[in-house]
Amino acid sequence: MQPPAPTLQRRHFFIAAGPALLAGTPWLGACQPAAGGETYAEAAARIRRPGLPPGAATHVAAVAAPGRTVPPELKPELVHELVRLATLAASSHNTQCWRFAVEGQGITILPDLSRRCPAVDPDDHHLFVSLGCAAENLAHAALAHGLQTELRFDPQRDAVQLALAPAAARRTALFDAIATRQCTRGDYDGQALAPAELALLESAGSAGGVRVLMLTARSAVDRVLEAVVQGNTAQMADLAFMRELQSWIRFNGAQALRSGDGLFSVASGQPEVPGWLGGLAFRWLFTPQDENDKLVRQMRSSAGVAVFVGPVADKAHWVDVGRAYERFALQATALGIRHAFVNQPVEVAALRPVLAAALGLGGLRPDLVLRFGRGPALPPSLRRPVQAVLA
């Protein structure tokens, strides 16, 4: 593959204001509390605490009483816990583009269109994928609390409905991975995964008509890398995309704590800087060659690339893609494997058929692209309070 042209790595930025300005910038959010007195690290630990806290066993007992076929009215504390775990799912730009409503004996996930990203996601593909991610988390959390779920997509409201029914409580490895799953946007160790691990990931990501292509050969990874670089080039030249991306970046812990959403710079392996400096750097001080070099380095440090492909390009099937991805991500987390999206070639519409042709997909639309491998964790992203997402 020819060396790619200079470009900007999407969701990754290097503040090129000079070594004297930024060298050695500490992770201030970990040690400096916000106005409310909580540090970033403390907030992340609270938000991402493991599931099944004290008292959960009583929720299960109340729901799974002998002879009961219909669950009783869902207790507020159980709803809070199920929704909290659901919101730890992935969403584009960490927009958390969902609302949750208790309806009858179930929970409905609705799109929050106020959190759309029309520049990067004009057809709301990523938005509905995100709803599927949340639904998958909720299903695993419900089962751990003694509730099985039956999912259907309501096309009239573009909503994901999860009916709940009593079941034997079952705590799975995927449930236990919910609190620590993250998109790890750093370098990996370059080591191959064991065949058994690849098989587990492929199985987790393939269901409901969705399949995942596991690419580990260097030639195949380089073909995807070339498309990723082309997508970055197109996105870098798109002013609307760049403005939208900047609006979701949190340049320091205080910004991230205030909003509870978005892309915290340190969680992408970048320095923490004052907001005014981050904004200036984002607009004026990018070094495209540095960003491109990092993109190539990180892709080539990965064990492979996974491409998710749904059978039909519509909202209901995008939800299915989100569920498949989330299962893959939880399985990867359970195995100690990191991953990060490299979605540029599916976000730029003109490149989708190019990628599809390179992968032999015919007329199918590639939905998601990610890289995977082993490497160190980065600080986790935050979430908004549960009360903020309850309809």
Give me the pLDDT at residue 158, please.
Answer: 98
pLDDT given for residue 61 in this prediction: 37
pLDDT of residue 74: 84
**Token code pair at residue 96:** 């958390």
- Tokens at residue 255, please? 């910004």
Q: Say how far apart CA 349 and CA 354 lie, in whole Å.
A: 10
Do 248 and 93 contact (CB within 8 A), yes or no? yes
What are the structural domains, with CATH classification, of the chain? Answer: 19-26+182-373 (3.40.109.10), 41-180+382-389 (3.40.109.30)
C-beta separation of 39 from 67 below 8 A:
no
**Residue 166 is inside which H or E element, if any?**
strand 159-166
User: With a threshold of 0.75, does the pTM exceed it?
Assistant: yes
Per residue of the chain (391 residues), what is the pLDDT tens digit? Answer: 444 433 334 444 333 333 333 433 444 444 455 555 899 999 999 999 998 754 444 344 344 444 444 455 689 999 999 999 999 999 999 999 999 999 988 999 999 999 999 999 999 999 999 999 999 999 999 999 999 999 999 999 999 999 999 999 999 999 999 999 999 999 999 999 999 999 999 999 999 899 999 999 999 999 999 999 999 889 988 999 999 999 999 999 999 999 999 999 998 878 899 999 998 888 786 666 777 788 899 999 999 999 999 999 999 999 999 999 999 999 999 999 999 999 999 999 999 999 999 999 999 999 999 999 999 999 999 999 999 999 9
- pLDDT reported for residue 27: 42
pLDDT of res. 287? 64
pLDDT value of residue 35:
52
Quick check: 328 and 197 in contact, CB under 8 A? no
Contacts made by residues 49-53, CB under 8 angstroms, sequence distance 24+ = 49/179, 50/176, 50/179, 51/81, 51/85, 51/141, 51/144, 51/175, 51/176, 51/178, 51/179, 52/144, 52/145, 52/171, 53/81
Q: Residue 32 half-sphere exposure, CB side, CA atoms within 13 Å? A: 10
